[in-house]
Amino acid sequence: MTKVSFFCPFASGRVRTGHLIECILVTFAIALAATVLAANPSAAASFDCRKATTTDERAICSNDELSALDDAMAAGYRQARKQAPSAVKTLSRSLLAERRVCGGDVDCLKEAMTKAVRTYKAIILGEPVDGGRKDKVYYGTRAGMQVSVVSRSGINSSNAVIAVEHRREDAVAFCREYVQNVTEKCIQDELAIQLADKFSGDCKTGRFTTITGQTYVFFGRNTAANASTMGNDFVVIDPDTNQPLDGSMASGYPVAIDQFEQLCPVRMQ
């Protein structure tokens, strides 16, 4: 049986007919929100502008573009909640916290609210909420210690390089997932951490340098009997001590091996 796809204005591209009902519902909800907005400019859908008290709420109510984003966000939330009520309830609190820390910064609010719409869309269409983390790499072992991938070059070669940026959204992820309190201070403290703008490696020799500047050497698969128990399926050597990383979080092995795999996936096969 041929699987038919169609264009959904709320999705990034074409989706299968299995999501037809969801697409119709969401498109209708956003069209309805747009109609309300046309009749009552700068009227937010997720809260009453007459009772707006926080800086972000006042900014939304005084800006037509932000108000339209709020309408779309509210419509997406209502539809996503029908499919995953418990998960969406928790997620919505996190997304609201991200919006709150923007205060009256219009550009920040646009970014936070667009992310919320994109997140609800992913839930409605059954897509990975974070895009499968293809564009993120961990630089540390704590939850949310991540950077964004900018470009990749020479993968699997003697000059494999992945350029990265430590963005505000990455700092927010750390504050949300590890600190569990998204505040402007937490975000700025995280962004102040000195990180390299790339990590690189020689896939032939196995020598590579991580985002935090540590250099290691990949020796290949660990053939020790206790490898699976210890968590180090591969041997990674610290050239300063000539000792292998033991596989624990404290040793940095999970982060190091993940970055090497990004650079030299063929060596991990």
- Given this model, what pLDDT does residue 185 score? 93
Helix (H) or strand (E) holding 151: strand 146-153
Per-residue pLDDT reduced to its tens digit, 185-214: 999 999 999 999 999 999 999 999 999 999
pLDDT band (50, 70, 90) for residue 56: very high
Please tell me the predicted confidence (pLDDT) of residue 134: 59
pTM: 0.57
Band of the pLDDT at 177, cuts 50, 70, 90? confident
Q: What is the DSSP string of 3-65?
A: PPEEE-TTSSSEEEGGGHHHHHHHHHHHHHHHHHHHHSTT--SSS-GGG--SHHHHHHHT-HH
For residue 165, what are the CA distances in angstroms to 142, 179, 183, 190?
A: 18, 21, 21, 13
The whole-number average pLDDT for the span 90-116 is 86
Residue 242's pLDDT band (cuts 50, 70, 90): very high
- Dihedral class, residue 176 (left if φ above 0, else alpha if ψ from -120 to 50, else beta): alpha
pLDDT at 80 over 50: yes
Cα separation, 17 vs 22, whole angstroms: 10
- Judge whether 199 and 208 are in contact, CB under 8 Å: yes
Residue 22's pLDDT band (cuts 50, 70, 90)? very low
Strand partners, 215: 209
pLDDT grade for 100, boundaries at 50, 70 and 90: confident
- What tokens appear for 238 in the block? 């610290």
Beta strands per DSSP E along 166-225: 198-201, 207-209, 215-221
